[in-house]
Amino acid sequence: MQTHAAIVTEIQELAPAVLQLTVAFTDRDFEFEPGQWVNFQFPEGVSRAYTIASAPQRPDAVQLCVRVGAGRGGEALKKLIPGATVAIDGPFGDFVLPQQDGRPVAFLAGDTGIAPVRSIVLHMLATKDKRPISVLYEPDQRHILYAGDFDPLARDGSIVHVSGKIETLIARNRRALESSLKMAAGFDGFLARVQSALRANGIDPSGAIVESFGPEP
């Protein structure tokens, strides 16, 4: 593990209480696999885990997609301004696509859990990965994060991207899910519902690759 100095170059509000942070590294040796997360150290010393939402094709900067919570991380986010110097530890995590698994890939994401999915999907398309891609997405309050990326890809048939209540999406896509590699990301409550819904549809959730963001902010 290595600590990297970085500068927050842009802060965009993607939806109410959801920010995209663009972070540029001052050194050039940060590398990550799509789906991994970093430990983000705010200028005041608080640190929180955030997942990289961008693909590794642009290695000098990363995008993070973050729900502003009620805790100390949320408070630090509200004070963060473009130009702030931060420290990034990592990358960490094994929410990564197994290269040797040839099955279609089905992502199940809730809210900002779309961050690692965006990174992996953009990377799969950039590297011309042949596996069919489905994204089943449960947004918070109908705010489809990264619709600007996913909608054109769904329209031209590069991926399937559907949104709604996750129980409904799992029931509707039961057959495709049975034969797919499943990767699920989001806060704990969402992941528990994914597990129950998979079971309720006769699908064993134990083989799924899962990234937990912890309790709901």
Judged by CB under 6 A, does residue 37 bind ligand FAD? Answer: yes
Q: What is the DSSP letter of 140?
A: B
Is the N-terminal amide bond of 34 cis, ω within 30° of 0? no
Q: In the beta sheet, which residues pair with residue 182?
A: 106
x/- mask, ligand FAD, residues 108-127, rule CB under 6 A, reads ----x--x------------
Judged by CB under 6 A, does residue 213 bind ligand FAD? Answer: yes
Dist. CA 142–CA 155, nearest whole Å: 19
Q: Out of 51, 54, 63, 119, which residue is the one contacting ligand FAD (CB under 6 A)? A: 51
Contacts (Cβ under 8 Å, ≥6 apart) of 58: none
Judged by CB under 6 A, does residue 173 bind ligand FAD? Answer: no
- Contact at 8 Å (CB) between 62 and 32? yes
- Count CA atoms within 13 Å of residue 147 on its CB side: 9
Q: How far is the CB of 112 from ligand FAD (least distance, A)?
A: 4
Q: How far is the CB of 130 from ligand FAD (least distance, A)?
A: 28
Judged by CB under 6 A, does residue 102 bind ligand FAD? Answer: no
Which spans of this chain sit near ligand FAD (rule: CB under 6 A)?
A: 37, 48-51, 65-67, 69-74, 112, 115, 213-217
